[in-house]
Amino acid sequence: MATRRRNVLVIVAVAELLTMSLWFSATAVAPELAASWDLTSTETTWSTNAVQSGFVAGGLLSSFFTLSGVIRPRYLFAGSAVAGAVCTALIAGVVTSALPAIGLRLCTGVALAGVYPPGMTILAGWFEEGRGFAIGLLIGALTVGSALPHLFRGVGDPELVLYGAAIIATLGGLLALFVEPGPHQAPAAPFDPGALGRILRARPTMLANGGYFGHMWELYAVWTWIPTFLAASLAASGSAGAGAGLGSLLAFDTIAIGGTGAVLAGSAATAGVEPA
């Protein structure tokens, strides 16, 4: 059983890492896309914000229709990963203007809402002991995966970033198909509109939700902003001649280092609630 759990953890973490490359795939090449399509600054901003908006919408829709109960998590993960990959490939190969790009990025965010939560569900079903470490590793994989487009941009052209993210996300979705439900898999609860009122009246839950909301608002703002900041810093220091590659590699390092913190925090959480 221990070997099976370890294999599941590795497969799901790798699948998550590969698939989450879709999140910032267009953001990593936003300057090139804006120049190629003659986008305004507002249109460029919305091409990034659309992913976050789509993720929220996808999460709400998934909860309302209890998709995790209707569709097995591994199938939901795989289908969502491929859908997001198709949207990204279309941006690279077909789109030439702002509106379809924003629409496809919105759909990518909706698709990713079918990747991250099911990944957590799968691991929670396999890990009762050691769940903190397992979830920490998954979040670490998500972090490094989110940074991957900047690594691609540092070593290749914009098309490589978009097509590369689409290809590896598809591989990530296929990997998820190899994971069976675990022995601790909890059944999905039906959607209950009355739960909203109970949540709003539960102070501990609202404090946790507020902290998570503030944390994610700050985190994704920094992840989105840091490549622009680094490019401006290099230009101001006279290092702009190093090209976009150096800034992209530094952006990858800045974001991906958070994966280490996630794994360490998950390990600490497990150590804090389980006997040594």
Instruction: Give pLDDT tens digits along the chain (276 positions).
Output: 788 899 999 999 999 999 999 999 999 998 888 888 888 888 988 888 899 999 989 988 887 777 877 888 999 999 999 999 999 999 999 998 999 999 999 999 999 999 998 999 999 899 988 889 999 999 999 999 999 999 999 888 888 899 999 999 999 999 999 998 888 887 766 667 777 788 888 898 888 878 877 777 778 888 988 988 888 888 888 765 556 678 899 999 999 999 999 999 999 988 765 544
In sequence order, what are the residues at sequence separation of 6 or more whose Cβ sits closer than 8 angstroms to the Cβ of residue 110?
54, 55, 57, 58, 61
To 10 degrees, the CA torsion angle through 203, 208, 213, 219?
160
3-class DSSP state for residue 228? helix
Burial class (CB in 10 A: 0-12, 13-18, 19+), 160: middle
In the prediction, which pLDDT does 275 show?
A: 42
Q: At what angle do helices 158-176 and 116-126 cross, to 10 degrees?
A: 30
Number of other residues whose CB lies within 10 A of the CB of residue 96: 11
In the prediction, which pLDDT does 74 show?
A: 94
In the prediction, which pLDDT does 244 show?
A: 65
- Structural domain boundaries in the chain: 2-182+196-273
Amino acid at 115: V
Question: Helices then strands (H, E): number in the chain?
Answer: 13, 0
DSSP 43-54: HHHHHHHHHHHH
Positive or negative, the Cα torsion across 247, 233, 259, 115? negative
Which CATH number, 3.40.50.970, 1.20.1070.10, 3.40.50.11540, 1.20.1250.20, labels domain 2-182+196-273? Answer: 1.20.1250.20
How far is Cα 50 from Cα 188, in angstroms, rounded to an integer?
28
Burial class (CB in 10 A: 0-12, 13-18, 19+), 34: middle
The Cα angle at residue 26 between residues 25 and 27, in degrees rounded to 5:
95
DSSP 236-255: HTT-GGG-HHHHHHHHHHHH
